[in-house]
Structure 1
Amino acid sequence: MVDDNSESIEAHEVVLDVNNGASKNCEESVIKDSVPLLKKLVAEVVGTYLMIFAGCAAVVVNLNNDHVVTLPGIAFAWGFTVMVLIYSLGHISGAHFNPAVTIAHASTKIFPFKQVPAYIIAQVLGSTLASGTLKLIFNGKEDHFIGTLPAGTNLQAFIIEFICTFFLMFVISGVATDNRAVGELAGLAVGSTIIIDILFAGPLTGASMNPARSLGPAILYHEYTGLWIYLISPILGALTGTWTYNFIRHANKPMCDEHTKIELTKIVPFLRRSRS
């Protein structure tokens, strides 16, 4: 029995330690790659096909209709196509669509080396199929070479392609491989970079930034002028871009590993009055 005027006080110690909880959440957030290689390759073929088809179709339509699409229109066609494909296929294959990107990722161990040859074959296949489709649709007077050719000297084209791909891969490394960036905006950032590159490099080199983009049309149209530039320069630019970002990266470990330990050991009195 307790008197009416008596009070019982219970003290509870509340300890908040988010360090352990964060570690657990970090471990749970690591998702193993469970997508079969075949499905990844199909995604790369389809993604590369759609990218080349939409981008090159804009080029052909522009040539056949008094430049109605314009250079900015072509740039936006490429950029928006890549953006939507990243959001739709990025979680399946990584949305490379570009041998230079695949090789660059493999060089930093973000992507397994053993899958590189298969990815490159899938990307070149997608580009070749898209080029063949466009060649069937636009024939006769409407048939134009949809590949990439240097407008100036080979040296100028080589440097421009190197810089364009460096810029592209630098952005990809920042928004897609560093989980401290806003990953949801990766597609927008990469697509915008492609638009910028095409706006200044399109009239000079075609702004390929992608060996598969240049190789597919070259195979279909048997036009190999300056092709070596578009095979070598983008790969070198991508490698330099990703390694430059890795050099300036603040930390290689995920953000969730950089915990701030917070401990609250304040005694909180909890008054409970009970009456009989």
Structure 2
Amino acid sequence: MVDTTTARTGLYGSNIGANMLAAAVAETVGTFILVYGGTAVAVAAALQRPVAGPAYDSLATPLAFGLALLAVVAAVGHVSGGHVNPAVTLGLAATGSFPWRYVPAYLIAQLVGAVLGALATWATFGAPGRDQVALAATVPGPGVGVGTAVLVEALVTFVLVFVVVSVATDDRVHSSLAPIAVGAGLAVAVLVAGPVTGGAANPARALGPALVAGEFTSLWVYIVAPLIGGIAAAVVYDRFLAKGRAPE
């Protein structure tokens, strides 16, 4: 008899229950790639370092995060579901699409991966990367109040998780589109929120650099707001769109 609970636990066709260790390792490595790929470019931009030629503008960081997530989903999505974000994990769990018993392992793996990613960025840029720009830790921009920061982080995480849930859990969407859509969703989130909050849209992405750099300014915002936005997105899709029929 097929274990239907296990069969529906994973995004992108993954079967989490088959090998929890593999899933946890995939989440750790995936989050490492996301955080290292994104924060390294953000640190380089903040330090005004050139990349393969002239110095680049503010588009580099959103593109780096988006491309990193695209690569991660393509690489490990079939193993762990490629959550690499507590907002995705908890959003899916809240709607019954991911077993709560797997949540602690995923959250730990994501945090470990984020810390390792921040350490790699520190190793790449040395003291200036940590001491001058705090390894691209997310903090509210000048003049941005706490209320605005919470709202913006919740909104952009809603956008990201809505895209993730829609393309990864609904078999009406072709699987080949998922990595591109998810990567684009994160790029849009960072483009929108970058000037306001730094554009975390992911508690793990915020916690990794913050812990390594010792930058805890308004850190709670980057934990609470993305979780609110992510859970809301998963609930909206699950309640109103998941069971709808495709247009004829």
Bin of the TM-score, shorter chain as denominator length: 0.7 to 0.9
- What is the rounded CA distance, in whole Å, between the counterparts of 2:200 and 2:210 in structure 1? 12
SS of the aligned residue for 1:186 comes to helix
Tell me whether 1:134 sits opposite 2:121 in the alignment: yes
Q: For residue 20 of structure 1, what is the aligned residue in structure 2? A: none
Residue-by-residue CA offset, 1:79-137 (whole Å, 9 max, x unaligned):
01100110110000000000111011111121111010110000000001111122223
Q: Are residues 32 and 232 of structure 1, via their aligned partners in 2, closer, same or farther at CA, if it must alter by over 3 Å?
A: closer
Hey, what's the Cα distance between the residues in 1 that align with 2:168 and 2:235? 14
Quote the sequence identity (%).
34
Q: Which amino acid aligns with 2:193?
A: A
RMSD: 1.9
Please point out which of 92, 95, 107 is paired with 2:79.
92
Contact 1:35-1:92 at 8 Å conserved across structures: no
Distance 1:191 1:157 in 2: 23
Q: Distance in 1 between matches of 2:137 and 2:24?
A: 23
Question: Number of aligned pairs?
Answer: 225
How many Å apart are 1:252 and its aligned residue? 7.0
Q: Which gives a bigger RCO, structure 1 or 2 (Cα 8 Å, sep 6+)? A: 1
Residue in structure 1 matched with residue 18 of structure 2 by the alignment: 35
Q: Could you tell me how far apart the structure 2 residues matched to 1:128 and 1:142 are?
A: 15
- In structure 2, list runs of 5 or more residues that go unmatched: 1-12
Deviation at 1:31, TM superposition (A): 8.4
The answer to which of 190-199 and 32-41 deviates more is 32-41
Give the match for residue 260 of structure 1. Answer: none
Q: Residues 230 and 94 from structure 1, CA distance in 2 versus in 1: closer, same or farther, beyond 3 angstroms?
A: same
CA drift of 1:196 comes to 1.2
Aligned residue in 2 for 1:274: none
- Larger helix fraction of residues: 2
* 1: CA distance, partners of 2:179 / 2:78: 12
Matched, 1:180 2:175: no
Q: Distance in 1 between matches of 2:75 and 2:129?
A: 32
Q: Segments of 4+ in structure 1 off by > 3 A?
A: 30-35, 140-143
Q: How does 1:113-128 map to 2 (within 5 A)?
A: 113-128=100-115
Residue 105 of structure 1 pairs with residue 97 of structure 2: no
Distance 1:59 1:115, change over 3 A: same
Native 8 Å contact 1:78 1:195 kept in 2? yes
**What whole-Å deviation, never above 9, does each CA across 1:177-236 have from its counterpart, x for those lacking one?**
111122220111111111111112111101101111111111111211100100000001
Match among 179, 191, 210 for residue 202 of structure 2: 210
| C-alpha separation in 1, matches of 2:15 and 2:26 | 19
1:244/1:61 Cα in 2 relative to 1: closer, same or farther (>3 Å)? same
Q: Deviations over 1:139-168 (max 9, x none)?
A: 233432121001111111100001001111
CA distance in 1, matches of 2:167, 2:236: 14
Amino acid at match of 2:82: A
Q: In the alignment, which of 189, 195, 198 is matched to residue 197 of structure 1?
A: 189
**2:157 alignment partner in structure 1:** 165
Match of 2:9 in 1: none
Q: How does 1:1-276 map to 2 (within 5 A)?
A: 33=16, 35-65=18-48, 68-143=55-130, 144-145=133-134, 146-151=136-141, 152-249=144-241, 251=243
Does the C-alpha gap of structure 1 residues 193 and 223 become closer, same or farther in structure 2, counting only changes over 3 Å?
same
Unaligned runs of 5+ in 1: 1-29, 256-276
